[in-house]
Amino acid sequence: MSLKNIECLEDRKWLRLLVDFAGSSINHRRPFDPTTTLVAEGSWDARNNQLHVVACQFLNARNSLSPSHVGDCSTKLTLRFPAIWTIGNTSCIVGEIWSNKPTTESGYFENITFDRGDSATYVFPGQRYEYTKRAKATKLYPRMKSDVDDKKDLFPNPFSYEMRLDISANSSTGEAGWASFVPVSVDNRFVQPYWYLTEDGTEEYLGAHPVGASVGDRYNNNRYNISYRINIRPVDEIRLPSEVYQLNLYYHFYEMGIVAEGIYDDKDGSLCVVGCRYLSSNSHQQPTYDSVDCEIVVNVQLPPTNPKSNYSSSIKGSIKST
């Protein structure tokens, strides 16, 4: 589903828009199709970051608007933009759509909830990440030897692109795959390569630069609160049980999705995070959000950035269930 703004009355916070259900968001320049599009009016609730919409169908629509007219305005839509992200909720947009018709009337459909929580997402002014697993990660944090100061090694800055990791993964039983670690936040700043919506409504691409307020929530010197999205995908010939991997409906491959948070120390390059993943009993269904496993621990040793180091130049680590 995509929303296309037609008109906005800023003083009243009203807008007109198109709600497009063409089935794919990859081709943003596809031609207008009235058979898969609703025309809608909405109001913006700035206090609660919510958009309330009433949508109407184009009746008698085929491939153009010439024989059609607007009617059947029984579809309701609500979008919310959570101000606080947590390990259990990293969706930048959540909402629901439903029919206002009686259940026995033609065209009625049940309430449908949806969210957007992938890595290509938006950050809005005032949003922040709240750490809830920091104490647990701190207990599991692997202490380094006291002579680390003498090595003069330099490790990646927590706000740098080097904190985004793409690594090979091998299980204890020999299955192989790939894992990607994409940072969501460091301390109280978002650091993903987000599109950022500025206050005047324009878009600004920030790459890996931080977004948000100045750093003020650090655990202590050199140790940063950090959160990640971790995706583990087996190689093509590997098929693991459906309760382990879910089907990514957007890219059509199987993966295990983990949201994690914990501690990164740029003094010794060690990363320790606690992760959560949603479970599914059917690989062709989306994960069920009432079934979650938060007993996952991830330890990573990052290599130093200076070439004269005695450390290994490769990334070492483990992901395990406790």
* pLDDT (tens digit per residue) in 86-124: 888 777 788 999 999 999 998 899 999 887 765 445 666
What confidence score (pLDDT) does residue 169 get?
81
3-state helix, strand, coil in the chain (%, to 5): 5, 45, 45
Question: For 57-96, what is each residue's pLDDT tens digit?
Answer: 988 876 666 777 888 899 999 998 888 888 887 777 889 9
pTM confidence score: 0.72
CA dist., res. 24 & res. 58, Å (int): 20
Buried b or exposed e, range 225-256, using 16+ CB within 10 angstroms: bbbbbbbbbbeeeeeeebeebbbeeeeeebbb
What confidence score (pLDDT) does residue 161 get?
84
Give the tokens for residue 260.
Answer: 């994690």
Question: For 123-140, what is each residue's pLDDT tens digit?
Answer: 666 778 899 988 888 887
What confidence score (pLDDT) does residue 24 get?
52
Tell me which amino acid residue 59 is: L
What confidence score (pLDDT) does residue 273 get?
94
Buried b or exposed e, range 170-181, using 16+ CB within 10 angstroms: eeeeeeebebbb
Query: β-strand 195-197 against 122-123: which pairing, if any?
Result: parallel
Place of tokens 């490769």: 314
Give the tokens for residue 146.
Answer: 């006291």
Measured CA to CA in angstroms, residue 6 lies from 3, 14, 18, 57, 83 at distances of 10, 11, 7, 16, 26
What confidence score (pLDDT) does residue 21 get?
85
Q: What residues have CB less than 8 Å from 216, skipping those under 6 apart? A: 187, 188
Which residue stretches of the chain have pLDDT < 50?
Answer: 25-27, 119-120, 144-150, 194-197, 199, 201, 203, 205-219, 283-285, 287-289
Question: How many CB atoms within 10 Å of residue 209?
Answer: 17
Residue ranges of alpha helices (H) inside the chain are 134-140
What confidence score (pLDDT) does residue 95 get?
92
Torsion of CA 22, 25, 29, 32, to 10 degrees: 20
What confidence score (pLDDT) does residue 213 get?
38
Closest to 21 in 3D by CA, of 71, 75, 100: 75
Closest to 85 in 3D by CA, of 212, 205, 179: 212
What confidence score (pLDDT) does residue 245 get?
65
CB distance 288 to 160 below 8 Å: no
What confidence score (pLDDT) does residue 237 get?
61
